[in-house]
Structure 1
Amino acid sequence: MLLTRRLVATLALAGAFAAQAQTPVNLGVAIPSADHGFTAGIVWWANQAKKELEAANPGLKITVKAAASAGEQANQLQDLLTTNKINALVILPQESAALTKPVQQLHNKGVYVTVVDRGLTDASAQDAYVAGDNTAFGSVPAEFIAKQLGGKGDLVALRGIPTTIDNERMDAFKAVLAKSPGIKLLDAKHGNWNRDDAFKVMQDFLTRFKKIDAVWAADDDMAFGVLKAIDQAKRSDIKLVFGGAGAKGMVKILKDGSDPRIQANVSYSPKFIYDAIKLTAEARLKGQKLPAKTIVPSVLITRDNAKDFYFPDSPF
């Protein structure tokens, strides 16, 4: 009788472990809402990941939530935990500081956390971090511009929103330019990754500087604003405008060769949210963890390889 009870207990314990092993990966995805081109791309790629990865993996469930503010995103995290019962999370935080504690609370309750792009203020709140290469995002354009100018010329730059990401990019850009003392950076101002703000900044540059050889607009939305300002001012001295992030409209111009001022770009696609979701889901399905940090390369896009970076169905 004792042996029978022990056998029953052993079988019950084995059954519990088996049930635990078969528990599907219930993955929550928390992202900013589509308030401009890049975040629209984030939302699109996240939903592509849900559709494709759920179809390929019966043991996987993905819930995507988009928030317009840090407060809304924090509330969504609680819903994902209590209502959706997630056991893994991929989050692109609305704000680093405001989301650190809410993410930490989920992490403390056993949720596996992958943070994307905008890092938290306390890395202990996450298991993994996935981001684009912000150093290359600054150095690749600088190398291309310096080469195209033959090491001599006058340059202006438009920065993004004041953030650590923007600082990384600008520092890398300046470090490369320092190797070409014949190139003068006339000024660099924040265009806030915004087309209208960039248009105004470029108007100021055009008024102040009578000769500009090239422009680094560190985002394709800003690059479109720059081109509009140049065209409106009827300036013909600017031979090169370099944006960034591989927006489909800019990549199409590059691919088609329809504007000689657009000669190259650098990748920083919102597709990295897809990559982060895929990496996290596949690792958790195997009971594995991701490396603490995964950097998605930012590479030079030219007319020769533009087709590989052109996603016409994406909003960005």
Structure 2
Amino acid sequence: MLKFLRAALLALGMVAGPCAQAASVLFLNPGTTREAFWVSYSQFMQAAARDLGMDLRIQYADRVPENIVKQAREALQGPNRPDYLVFVNEQSVAPEVLRLAHGSGVKLFMVNNALTVDQAKLLGAQSDKYPDLIGSLVPNDEEGGYLMLKELIRLRPPVAPGQVIELLAFSGLKVTPSAQLREQGMRRALAEHPEVRLRQLVYGGWTHQRAYEQAKLLLKRYPHTSLVWAANDEMAFGVMQAYVESGGVPGKGALFGTINNSPAALRALLDNRLSVLLGGHFSLGGWAMVELHDYEKGVDISRYGGRDRQIPLLQRIDRAQAKRLLALSNTQDFGVDFHKLSAKGRPMSYRYPFSLQTLMH
């Protein structure tokens, strides 16, 4: 009878056993369940958690920064605290999350948007001041914005001397570091190409509808637009909808470039509606899970690539890679053995191989 009772309690997780010891992670997803990017981001994290034996919960903030702060407060000061809180410095919420975490015992990890330079200065964010902030992983956003425009210009037929190429740009949110950095990259490419004239840059808030409404006005104002730079796929499709409604053919009239390897974006690249697509950073959350798994196992993650790391994940996706990523989006594990990426027991020369190529093997 005692054996039976113990087995029943173990099954329910009420007796210390392998299940009870799984590290618990809460990810505060700043997006919505309707955004392909943030959904695939969560799926990749879940695949990593399953493979690594970690307990992952995900809460969506629906692009409302106050929701992130509210969820963080409940997680950090409530009765059911996770071992680790993973979050994004979306709309500059990080200082408030760091304040809420003080004395909570919960370890923090930032992905996609880390502290801005100004925030780091203001907070004096040294590891001794915020010992619970154990690291961050961000993509090469500035380079992504730069590469997108450079490639759009390369694909555009050259113009006669004295003529200009007209560009419209759609950025995300002014207060989000990734949007700021992508815009900086775009302006760096602009400085190298005086023949390209930026007619207007607007903030589409990462959304299809907002960019669509803005594009309807801008395409009337600038009917000779031949390049469209959009900081994410949702906005690119909004602009594309307005462009088609105005009688344009994406890929033949104006060339469109964007970021995010959602299935819709991959298909748009394959049917030439998108001319330039960069992606790969949806995997950041999964790579963060590998580092948290190692930290839990006593690994000094800073020795294998740095405590705060920028990874060159934003790369141009070609047609062969688009087909491969489309196939992967239909699998549960994305074809990645996350255990093999662990630094546990590795020589000091090992570096975490977090890249788009890891998904393309």
Match of residue 161 from structure 1: 173
Q: TM-score, normalised by structure 2?
A: 0.69
1:202 aligns with 2:230: no
Note the residue ranges of structure 2 that are not aligned, 5 or more in a row: 1-20, 160-164, 332-361
Greater mean alpha carbon deviation, residues 261-270 or residues 295-304: 261-270
Query: Residue 136 of structure 1 contacts residue 172 of structure 1 at CA under 8 Å; is this kept in 2?
Result: yes
The alpha carbon displacement at 1:210 in A equals 2.5
Q: Secondary structure at the match of 1:246?
A: coil
User: Could you list the per-position Cα deviations for residues 62-97 of structure 1 after superposition, in whole angstroms to 9, with x for gaps in the alignment?
Assistant: 344444554554454455455445333322355433
Match of residue 229 from structure 1: 242
Query: Residue 264 of structure 1 contacts residue 303 of structure 1 at CA under 8 Å; is this kept in 2?
Result: no
User: Could you list the per-position Cα deviations for residues 213-264 of structure 1 after superposition, in whole angstroms to 9, with x for gaps in the alignment?
Assistant: 2211221111111111111111257231112122211112323xx2x34222
Q: Aligned pair in 2 of structure 1 residues 294, 196: CA closer, same or farther (>3 Å)?
A: same
Distance (Å, rounded) in 2 between the aligned partners of 1:194 and 1:28:
25
Distance (Å, rounded) in 1 between the aligned partners of 2:61 and 2:135:
22
User: Could you list the per-position Cα deviations for residues 269-314 of structure 1 after superposition, in whole angstroms to 9, with x for gaps in the alignment?
Assistant: 3321122122222232234234221223211112132234334349
Query: Residue 70 of structure 1 contacts residue 93 of structure 1 at CA under 8 Å; is this kept in 2?
Result: no
Note the residue ranges of structure 1 that are not aligned, 5 or more in a row: 1-22, 55-59
Q: Aligned pair in 2 of structure 1 residues 239, 63: CA closer, same or farther (>3 Å)?
A: closer
1:119 aligns with 2:111: no
Q: TM-score, normalised by structure 1?
A: 0.78
Query: Residue 211 of structure 2 contacts residue 235 of structure 2 at CA under 8 Å; is this kept in 1?
Result: yes
Query: Residue 26 of structure 2 contacts residue 82 of structure 2 at CA under 8 Å; is this kept in 1?
Result: yes
Match of 2:291 among 279, 282, 288: 279
Match of residue 39 from structure 2: 40
RMSD: 2.8
Structure 1 segment 145-224 matched on structure 2, within 5 A: 145-150=152-157, 152=159, 153-163=165-175, 164-224=177-237
Distance (Å, rounded) in 2 between the aligned partners of 1:30 and 1:245:
19
Match of residue 281 from structure 2: 269
Distance (Å, rounded) in 1 between the aligned partners of 2:186 and 2:221:
22
Amino acid of the structure 2 residue aligned with 1:230: Y
Match of residue 244 from structure 1: 259
Distance (Å, rounded) in 2 between the aligned partners of 1:151 and 1:269:
32
Q: Secondary structure at the match of 1:270?
A: helix
Higher helix share: 1
Q: Secondary structure at the match of 2:281?
A: coil
Amino acid of the structure 2 residue aligned with 1:34: T
Distance (Å, rounded) in 2 between the aligned partners of 1:191 and 1:53:
37
Distance (Å, rounded) in 2 between the aligned partners of 1:63 and 1:196:
29
Amino acid of the structure 2 residue aligned with 1:288: D
Q: Secondary structure at the match of 1:238?
A: coil
Amino acid of the structure 1 residue aligned with 2:106: V
